[in-house]
Amino acid sequence: MGMAVTSIRDASRRNVLQGWYPKRSSMVSFLSVAAFFILWQVAPELGWVNGRFTSQPSQVFLAGIDVVLHDNFFYHARISLTELALGFALALAVSIPLGVLLGTSQTARYLIDPPLMALYIAPTLVLLPILVVWLGIGMASKVAIVFLGALFPIVVNTMAGMREVDSKLIRAARSFGASKFDIFIQILIPGSLPSILTGIRLAVGRAVLGVVVGELFVSQAGIGHQLNTYGSSMRIDRLLVYALVVSAFGYALTAAVRAIEAHVRTWRPE
């Protein structure tokens, strides 16, 4: 009896301890963020830094409300989102079939692999000036830069995924009389899905970067255009609001793809 009571008490103490550790870690990160905001808020007021260059959290918060209410925020966001969505959709439509082709056909690989790798490694943003010359300063040049930025990570990862599918699985499928189409649908696609999603996740980052940089470079509207406007007019508070929107959006999108990846990978022990 006595022993049983002790063990229950031990167990509850262990639970308390186990509950404590994650709380402590989140507490530490919360405190560090809070300390940063407090420092940021008081530093200009104490004259440690020039508030004209750093702004303050309270000002950024107010600017955020101001931007949403009076700055055509949704108009600019819609422009940027449209460019992103169009460019990304085009990239998906081209890159996955291309990756599949390269992953399954050696001839195609010999033909396109070297230029593909060169383009994958080179930042596609270097093409921005020429795209503007070709397509103008409107949405088309941004769609094109998003397309180019997103294309290569997906192509390369789809190709790698197709090639890395275990040949033993293909042999097993063939032994049951699977056709080439069966093997493609039942083995190659599910087998390379994690790689394809990794490619898409990398592409999301490049696509968001492409839109913003494209608009920063030359544009008439969009989030990047607003960033440029407030940068050159020294409105640090508003600039930070837009910067925050971009990073939150990019983070959310990447996290969403990561969640799908985690779901798909349940069958694969890490």
With 0-12 CB in 10 A as exposed, 13-18 as middle and 19+ as buried, what is 184?
A: middle
* Closer residue to other proteins (CB): 100 or 128: 100
Nearest to 147 by CA among 131, 160, 136, 133: 131
165: phi then psi, degrees, rounded to nearest 5: -60, 130
In contact, 198 and 261? CB cutoff 8 Å: yes
Closest separation in Å from C-beta 39 to other proteins:
48
In contact, 200 and 154? CB cutoff 8 Å: yes
- Give the span between the Cα atoms of 235 and 237, in whole angstroms: 6
Q: Per CB under 8 A, does 109 bind other proteins? A: no
* Closer residue to other proteins (CB): 115 or 177: 177
Residues 161-190 interacting with other proteins (rule: CB under 8 A):
166, 168-169, 171-178, 182, 186-187, 190
* Closer residue to other proteins (CB): 53 or 176: 176
Q: Per CB under 8 A, does 22 bind other proteins? A: no
DSSP summary character for residue 50: -
* Closer residue to other proteins (CB): 92 or 170: 170
* Closer residue to other proteins (CB): 52 or 268: 268
Closest separation in Å from C-beta 109 to other proteins:
16
Q: Per CB under 8 A, does 244 bind other proteins? A: no
* Closer residue to other proteins (CB): 165 or 236: 165
In contact, 59 and 37? CB cutoff 8 Å: no
Q: Per CB under 8 A, does 267 bind other proteins? A: yes
Closest separation in Å from C-beta 202 to other proteins:
22
- Give the span between the Cα atoms of 63 and 71, in whole angstroms: 10
- Structure-token pair, residue 177: 């009389």
- Give the span between the Cα atoms of 146 and 124, in whole angstroms: 9
Interface ranges with other proteins (CB under 8 A): 166, 168-169, 171-178, 182, 186-187, 190-191, 266-269
